[in-house]
């Protein structure tokens, strides 16, 4: 991937901007699906200028929380505000101009070209002044997601990792203030995992708000400004990586002994499972 403005060199994380704004606020959020309580009493803020990573074991409610925060899923209790307005009061088009969502599933039934898929990210801006930036936005997204060599291929002919990067490019082309990414690194090799997180951090440092669901705790620790630990449908902890990702808390959440390793004193934690 090509660097976005503010992308850090390996091992360095630029400071969070001094001025931040809570663009999305969840208060007492609860979600019930098929008669089962998925989320209970979740309260948190999504702030511009930072990356918020949601972590936790399978089935904890991370994807459901991301869906509720982004306005894609209905909630049964509490409220979600986008700039002091209930997110479910926004028209779909207005919401698409405020936030972009990368879901886990990247399936497309029709054999669109990659360039067509990426261009779909610009659909919310048709008949607006931002439409003039389409070519620039698409070119930057293609470059950042490292899919320039794929633009003339059919999406249906791509590998899982290639599809994931094309889907990311579509989200980047949308150019919204808030970006939601659900497991964006799951299908990617080591290099592209790092590239995706560097790009996410660069978006945040450019003033956007980024919420990302991750399974790799060390990756979350390396790039997130704050980490929210979801367990059993509740927000068990939220804070800096060093505050949240302790051996006791991780071990309790995952039912697995871990060692928290700091390469240098005060550095971001690396989480290692204890093995025989």
DSSP labels for 145-166?
Answer: TT-GGGTTSBGGGS-HHHHHHH
Using the structure block, give the residue that is written with the tokens 């090509």.
Answer: 2
Query: Binning pLDDT at 50, 70 and 90, where does residue 6 land?
Result: very low
Domains along the chain with CATH numbers:
1-93+213-276 (3.40.50.300)
Type and span of the H or E element at 45: strand 36-47
Tokens of 77: 């209790």
Task: Please tell me which residue, 5 or 30, carries the higher pLDDT value.
Answer: 30
pLDDT mean over 62-82:
97
Give residue 96's pLDDT: 96
- Three-state DSSP class for residue 214: coil
Highest mean pLDDT among 38-42, 108-112, 183-187, 265-269: 38-42
CB atoms within 10 A of CB 191: 10
Give residue 131's pLDDT: 87
Query: Binning pLDDT at 50, 70 and 90, where does residue 88 land?
Result: very high
DSSP labels for 230-247?
Answer: EETTEEEEEE-HHHH--H
Mean pLDDT of the chain: 91
Tokens of 275: 């093995």
Kindly report, residue by residue over 166-204, the tens digit of the pLDDT.
Answer: 999 999 999 999 999 999 999 899 999 999 999 999 999
239 backbone φψ class: left, alpha, beta (φ>0; ψ -120 to 50):
left
Give residue 266's pLDDT: 82
Is the confidence at residue 146, as pLDDT, over 70?
Answer: yes
CB atoms within 10 A of CB 128: 10
Burial class (CB in 10 A: 0-12, 13-18, 19+), 92: exposed
Using the structure block, give the residue that is written with the tokens 């898929």.
Answer: 117
Query: Binning pLDDT at 50, 70 and 90, where does residue 147 land?
Result: very high
Is the confidence at residue 94, as pLDDT, over 80?
Answer: yes
- Three-state DSSP class for residue 182: strand
Contact assessment for residue 252 and residue 263, using Cβ atoms and an 8 Å cutoff: no
Q: Give the end-to-end CA distance of the chain in Å, rounded to a whole number.
A: 38
Is the confidence at residue 165, as pLDDT, over 60?
Answer: yes
């Amino acid at each position: 991937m090509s660097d976005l403005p503010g992308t850090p060199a390996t091992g360095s994380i630029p400071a969070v901007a001094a001025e931040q704004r809570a663009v999305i606020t969840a208060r007492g959020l609860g979600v019930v699906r098929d008669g089962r309580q998925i989320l209970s009493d979740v309260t948190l803020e999504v702030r511009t200028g930072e990356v918020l990573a949601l972590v936790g074991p399978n089935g904890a409610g991370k994807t459901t929380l991301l869906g509720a925060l982004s306005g894609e899923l209905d909630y049964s209790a509490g409220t979600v505000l986008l700039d002091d307005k209930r997110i479910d009061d926004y028209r779909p088009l207005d919401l698409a101009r405020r936030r972009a969502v990368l879901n886990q599933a990247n399936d497309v039934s029709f054999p669109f070209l990659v360039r067509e898929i990426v261009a779909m990210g610009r659909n919310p801006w048709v008949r607006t002044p931002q439409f003039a930036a389409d070519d620039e936005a698409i070119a930057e997204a293609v470059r950042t997601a490292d899919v320039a060599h794929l633009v003339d291929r059919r999406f249906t002919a791509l590998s899982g990792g290639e599809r994931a990067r094309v889907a990311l490019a579509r989200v980047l082309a949308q150019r919204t203030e808030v970006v939601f990414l659900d497991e964006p690194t799951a299908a990617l090799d080591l290099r592209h995992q790092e590239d995706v997180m560097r790009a996410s951090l660069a978006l945040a440092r450019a003033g956007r708000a980024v919420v990302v669901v991750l399974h790799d705790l060390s990756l979350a620790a390396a790039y997130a400004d704050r980490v929210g630990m979801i367990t059993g449908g509740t927000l068990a902890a939220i804070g800096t990586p060093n505050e949240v990702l302790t051996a006791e808390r991780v071990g309790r959440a995952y039912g697995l002994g871990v060692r928290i390793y700091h390469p240098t004193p005060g550095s971001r934690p690396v989480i290692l499972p204890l093995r025989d």
